[in-house]
Each structure stands twice: as structure tokens, then as C-alpha cells.
Amino acid sequence: STVVLVFEAPSVETEDLSAHEKSRPESRNFRFTVANGERIKMGQALGD
Amino acid sequence: RHSEGSNLYLPGATVATLMMLGALHIRRMYEEKQVDEARRQGREPEFVADWKATFLQMLPLRFISRTWGSLTSVELPVWLRPHVYNGWARAFNANLDEASLPIEEYVSLRDFFTRTLKEGARPLDPSTTCLLSPVDGVVLQCGQVTGTGTMIEQVKGFSYSVSSLLGANPHVSSSSSSLLEDGQTTQNPDESEATSRNQIESATEADSLRASSSQHILTRSPSETGNKGLFYCVLYLGPGDYHRIHSPSDWDVFYRRHFYGRLYPVNERAVRTIKNLYVLNERVVLEGRWSQGFMAMAAVGATNVGSIELKFEPELKTNIPKVGLSLATINSRSYGQNGLNVKAGEEVAVFNLG
């Protein structure tokens, strides 16, 4: 069986970031903390 | 001489069958080893159309799945249970220590398959800004849906559309209203009243929900997206995995769609050889909103695991006999203006055998 998640999350174009945020773009954007092929358990973070 | 001859045939045929099955299994293990090797070298498996996938279409997959469900519902004698469940655990890498009950207490394989876990077996990530995995399993694909086609890569070389997966096409809303006239997807007369009531609810309220629905999200222009992107994550659950589905975040579920569909297997081989697998198979889609905007979760069934039971809608029946239902049938329901509020980590559904 398979579960597919589709969701909206922050994805700010770099040019739209403020000077401060440019230094750490990931502070604003969603990024996955898992990779293809990785095993995962319920409750673990997929991304942040 | 005749009886001697026939006595020889039986062991011969059995040995030949076992040897053929053994050869097929060795070949399959070799192919899977090749895929793992390719993945280790960073080469993603590619889509390869396969005559077996075509052959699968001719099989009565739903009948096979339902028969499998009947088989695995049979109550096992207590002395046999540890042998069956330990065998299953060894074959599919299931962790029996986490099961909340002693394994002798699961009356059937189906009961064992939907086992709950001990308290604390799955601690939730404490971060308030993260998205949780709703299940145990393997991350098959994850990424950002790009471009206007809003396609998700099934495997390298083949992609399917988000709107086909979620049923965001405009026809879906009309089909829910057209269902009002025809009632074509009701399973049986006494349900038609309940089903059409749900559909009356869905047809009238669906419009007000459309602003947050996948249809709006998938058809808006890039200027409307603001600082948001659409992301996806495909999680595969093996037969030995814990099969209850939890909520990936605090969110409100406004809409549920049940796609009758087919029941192809969804193992790695099927993903590499059957086009549009997740769009063709029976599935239940929950759609709503979380703190960052739109969210949808699709639970996709398979031949082996054809049943999907919703905690907050136990009357929804999946993997039902095909009588009078077309494969394109969609039974949809809205959960009202405020939707159903679900907390991160809360159990929302469970897969089951057959």
C-alpha cells in the first residue's frame, strides 16, 4: 500500500528574500529532511 | 505398471512446479538486487513497460483481493497463531516486539495486520514547524511539484498528474452533482439514501470549499501562488510494516473522495512497469488545509491490501464487489464548512488485507 501526501508550503524565490533571509534561505522555505529510498517511521519529520 | 507410472507423475509435476517457482523467485531477487545496486550508485530505477503489467489487466484482481481478504479473516486456532505470525514477521521484516498485544491474541491474520503498537512506540517529532510522516514505510519519491503540468514523478521516465490523483478535475464536482441525479455509485438501495444525502451535502458545500480545494490550487496562475509551493511525498508500506495511517499535522479535513479504481499490486516492480499506477488504483483521498495552506493525503490500495477504513467514517466501504460500478466511479463527501479538525499524530485510517 502507498500513501501520497500533496501539500502547500513556503517556497519563496531567492530574489524575494530580505537581505537577512538571503543568508539563510532555508529559514523561510520548506525543505525535506528525508531522501528517496530512506526508511521512515510514523511521527518522524518528513520535512520542515 | 500404469499405477506405477501415474505415481511417478505426481512427484515429478510437483518438483517441476517448485523448481519453476524457485527460479522465478531467484530471478526476482536478482532484479531487486540490481535496482538496489543502481540506487546505491545514485541511478534512479527507470520506467520499463512490461508485458506482465498488461497481463495483470486481464486478471480478476478484485476477486483475488477479496478472496485473499476472506482467507486472512479465518480465525486461527491459538496454537497455530505464533507460527503464522512469526512466519509473516520473518518473511516481511515485521517487528513483533512493538505489537500492543501478545501475538496469540490476534484471532486472524487480518486482525494481526492491523495491530496497534505499544504506547510510546512512535514518538512524534516535537518541532512545531515540521510535517510528520503519517505512516511507517519507505520514501519512494519526494519533491516540489513544478510547472503548470503539476506532475509527480512515479519513477524516472514516467509521471502522473496531481489532479488525476486527487480528483481535482472540474468534472469531479459535476460528477458529484451528476451522481445526485443518477446515484450511480451507490452500493445498494438502502445506502442510496445515505449516499445521496452525503452527495447533496457535497454538491452544495463543495462550491464553498473549492477555494481551498486541489482544483483551485492546481489551476491558479503562478502570480496567485504567492510565496507558496506545492510539494509531494510518496510513502510505500511493505507487508510487514505497521499499517495504521496518522495525521501528518494539525489540519482541517473538508473533503473525502473514494475512487473505486483497480487493485494492481504496488510493489517496486509494479511502480516501474505499470503507468499511472496510483491514479488507476482504488484509493481514498482526504483534502483540507493545514497551517501553510492546502493539504491532501491519498491512501492507495493494492491487490494484497485492498481495504482502507476511515476512523471518522467507518461506514465507508472499500474493495467492494464490482457489481454495477464503473472503474471511474468517485464517491465524494464534504465534512461541512468547518471540516473535521485532526491533530498531528492522530490516527485517521487503517489499511487492511483483502
User: Is B52 in CB contact (< 8 Å) with chain A?
Assistant: no
Q: What is the pLDDT of residues A1-48, one digit of tens each?
A: 999 999 999 987 655 656 655 565 555 799 999 999 999 999 999 999
Task: Give tens-digit pLDDT for B208-223.
Answer: 445 456 666 666 555 5
Nearest beta carbon to residue B125 from set A8, A13, A45:
A45
Q: For residue B176, name the pLDDT band (cuts at 50, 70, 90).
A: very low
| pLDDT tops 70 at residue B66 | yes
pLDDT attached to residue B273: 82
State percent of chain B over pLDDT 90. Answer: 51
Residues of B in contact with A46 (CB under 8 A): 130-133, 139, 142, 233, 248
Q: What is the pLDDT of residues B1-39, one digit of tens each?
A: 455 555 666 678 778 877 877 777 777 677 767 766 766
pLDDT digits 0-9 by tens, B109-156: 999 999 999 999 999 999 989 999 999 999 999 999 876 667 888 877
Euclidean distance between CA atoms B92 and B114, whole angstroms: 15
The verdict on a CB contact (< 8 Å) between A38 and B294 is: no
If contacts are CB pairs under 8 Å, which of residues 53-112 in chain B contact chain A? none
Among B39-53, B83-97, B190-204, the minimum mean pLDDT is found in B190-204
Question: Averaging pLDDT over each range in B17-26, B34-43, B87-96, B329-338, which range is the top one?
Answer: B87-96
pLDDT of residue B158: 79
- Interface residue B200 vs chain A (CB under 8 A): no
SS (H, E, C) chain B: CHHHHHHHHHHHHHHHHHHHHHHHHHHHHHHHHHHHHHHHCCCCCECCCCHHHHHHHHCCHHHHHHHHHHHHCCCCCCCCHHHHHHHHHHHHCCCHHHECCCHHHCCCHHHHHCCCECCCCCCCCCCCCCEECCCCEEEEEEEEECCCCCEEEEEECEEEEHHHHHCCCHHHHHHHHHHHHHCCCCCCHHHHHHHHHHHHHHHHHHHHHHHHCHHHHHHCCHHHHCCEEEEEEEEECCCCCCCEEECCCCEEEEEEEEECCECCCCCHHHHHHCCCHHHHECEEEEEEEECCEEEEEEEECCCCCCEEEECCECCCCCCCCCCCCCCCCEEEEECCCCCEEECCCCEEEEEECC
pLDDT at B7: 64
CB contact under 8 A, A43 and B123: yes
CA distance A25 to chain B (A): 13
Q: What is the mean pLDDT of chain B?
A: 80
Confidence band (pLDDT; 50, 70, 90) for B270? confident
Chain A CB contacts of B305 under 8 Å are 1
B306 in Cβ contact with A12 (< 8 Å): no
> pLDDT tens for residues B151-173?
888 877 778 888 889 986 433 33
